[in-house]
Structure 1
Amino acid sequence: MQPEFDLPKPYHPHARLMAAFESCALIAILRGVTPSEVVAHGQALYDAGFRVVEVPLNSPDPLASIAALRQSLPDDAVVGAGTVLRPAFVDDVARAGGELIVMPHGDTEIISTAKEKGMACAPGVATPTEAFAALASGADVLKMFPAEQLGAHVVKAWRAVIAKRVPLVPVGGVTPENMNTFVAAGASGFGLGSALYRAGQDVDTTAAHARAFVSAWRQVGAGAPR
């Protein structure tokens, strides 16, 4: 049984996630991180400017890492879980102190469960049909995945029919060098995986990658939809 943690108050999941995005619309994905090292990496990300961090559930003891991050990071940071594949996992994440559910797919039952639990949700979508179904179920952010397959031209096409207030967040293959192309097409932010963090890398490397991404975002982010 995972311990329960108090969430920052007042807790309004959509508003807090949007506030974090307003500060820095980059989601750090710490796939493979361990509980013994997660606080140091999380602090390095926070110091660089990140305000949203997720630990995928296929990492070693992910709930312990989520709990450690939530306890250690300031209240303006949003901590969540990625690779959430079943509705039952939402409860586990909530008990660990997680505030955000991120998925590689658009399972509307998971989205609805997350919203019922008072959590923000960023489902993975790859078609307009999936995108609008996710929004109808309460999605806060649309994770466009995999971004390297969809490309900036798809972001542009989606943005023509999806309101600017809905964050479109490409994930997969994003680098500091290609962020501008996606933002120009209508991307609102990004989820960053192996280009930011790989399992086993040292904290100094995480910090250097984080600074590079935040620097690139500060150059191009002003053009992102609001």
Structure 2
Amino acid sequence: MLLFLLINILLYSQELVEEAIITDIKGVVEVLRVNTTYWQRIEKDDFLYIGDIVRTGKDGSAEIVFSDGNIVELTPFSKLKIEKIDVEKGEKLELEIGGVLIKVEKGKGFEIKTRHAVCAVRGTEFAVSVSKENTHVGVFSGKILLRHYDAKGRLAKRALVLRKNYETLVRMYLPPSRPKRLGRRMRFLKERMKRLRKRAKILRERMKRRFKERVKLKRKRAIKRQKIKRKRVKEYMRKRRRR
């Protein structure tokens, strides 16, 4: 019985870290929770989970911090799905439309896909914007590996290495364009990244405390549930002996 208790506590703790938190919000931001069919307003300090989809309105933006310290800023008119959260291997996101600024912690992995391509990174600062026609990617520090989808929906075997201060454009079913120096739009986003970088230092410690509190709370709930289960099993066994 003790073994089952420990396993349950471990599982609940692992489930807990598969979360993200909204740390800043402006305008209208909504979430479609996994296994639901309706959109609801989301507020600062709300948690996000695997399978959730976040969208921003005309003047909406949202800052999302994952439990491993990676940060995503969602720009207006954007829709982002959280496909995977893994403290060891990093996050996997899908950007359907709109734009994101992303700061990935050193040593941490991260992957974001669009209808045109997949970007895989580690310890990088970059931006991605998506329209129906193309995906625009710019790197502000580090580098990313970018692979496009072909007409059969397969990812290219060879990846483009996009380095610091360069950008590229990926059109439907076509390889990325030749990398060029950051243009006006990406230079503007690079300036915004400075703000995100400063906030990262503040958010890192704050989020550690928040997630630790959540771990403790969930552990207590897991222990309580396990005690109730043990009690029910004992009652059931007593009734069987009386028969």
> Is the shorter-chain TM-score for this pair beyond 0.5, marking a shared fold?
no
* Higher strand residue share: 2
Structure with higher Rg: it is 2
TM category, shorter:
under 0.3
Structure with bigger RCO (C-alpha 8 Å, 6+ apart): 1
